[in-house]
Chain A
Amino acid sequence: MSAVAAVQSPWQTAGIVRIEKRTPRVTSFFFRPSRPFAYRAGQHVDVRLTAPDGYQARRSYSIASAPETVGAIELAIEKLDDGEVSPFFHEVAAIGDEIELRGPLGGHFVWPEDVGGPLVLVGGGSGVVPLMSMARHRAARNSTVPVVLVFSARIWDEVIFRDELIALDDRRDGFDLVLTLTREAARRPADYVRRVDVAMMAQAMARLPEPPGLAFVCGSNAFVSVAAQALIDAGVAAGNIRTERYGV
């Protein structure tokens, strides 16, 4: 080992190779890094934009693709109308553009499949992105670790990765999807129409064969606070809950 730690994940350029609209407000951008890197499900990258006069804006985005995916890395970016970076992606970025990013980053909100479970995943809006990487990772590994994903969205058409999540649920291989819509009626029999709460967490966990070993909660700060507290009230030890907060 060298005395000086190596620079972790230096900045590099990555080309946008594909753009796919996921919902009215969320679009996936697929990046091919000039120096490909291995990552774990749940990690993120930092992206930075540079103006001609040197001004830079940087933001973090979770990786949506599974570590097993060959080639491009998927970031799913929600457009905040008055934001600085997300509208750039939605309105300006195009296939062929080179963007600077560094990654993988974050060593806590990660789930390599061999860590085991069962798992409770709770995502609000774009907070589902790192959980999607975990779900895809699980599927790619043909894992049998029991997982329940509770995904809160405002309306049915804002359920990011909806078809893919329902397809994973339909495999009946131990991955369970629970959707809860906050502004529209439920479409699937077992889904909810309210904000996450203790009862919902308790019922979601009851779908697992045994109590969860780990819980991952991701979304806005307000969402994460409520969901993490609901998990604690439903009996999950605080030390087993990992959170990723997208800030405000």
Chain B
Amino acid sequence: MAETTVSVPSVAPFNPWKVVLLICVGCLALLFLAPTVGVLLSSIKTTREIAFGELWTIPGTIYWGNFIEVLTNPSVPQYFLNTIFVTLPATILSIILGVLAGYVFSKLPFAGSNLLFLVIISGMFFPPQVILIPLFQFFNSLGLIDTLWPIICVHTALGIPICTLLMRNFFATVPNALREAAILEGANEWQVLIRVALPLSLPAIAVLATLQFTWIWNDFLWPLIFTQSDEKRTIMVGIVNLKGQYSVAWGVQGALSLIASLPTLIVFLFFQRYFIKGMTMGAVKG
């Protein structure tokens, strides 16, 4: 009996278990943090320091040269602009399309709508490589290779499944009676969507916005396939490109990675709640 009272969490002021747990979690956290810290450290050290194995020590002085190098490189702002030009429209468009489809699937179901929904949702699960070649051929025949258009289009289309799924699930929580009350008051479906369903779904929109923004910003495959010239690169392809230019300038590479990740990091830290919700909701309710 005495044994069990020790192991069961009680109201006792000091609990040795908690400390053990804390130490365990702390160690794991340190291990998990190490890679990220490495990049941080590299960005404020000179190449010499890194090469001499001083990457993993706490720096005495901060070296800003890497950041200056990155920020004065004329390509970097261009990469950023390109990424923004891709990410913002694709995020917004995919959410709009998802809202439209999700509304129909949750509030205006019809014979066969479940099948159509499943077909759209399954798009989430397939490796994008499956449609790589035909899309390349398609945009090539339109003369759009080496522009940002194909990237925007493809991300919009590939965002439809997750956006539709999340919006359908969210709209399903909006009571049918609200829609019906609005219709009795003279609203048509569009007005129900805009004035009733959408204002109630802002949390879901926030979830999707953070999710889509992060995915599209971080994507590497599509810009790699669709762009060729340096002026059209997005930041993630740009980093890989600049690796050649800064082949042993590890600090510059670190600074570059950091700057490239800044937007998603900010989105993540500020909208963490939505982000986690989106990841789990999209996954759990599939």
A-B complex is real: no
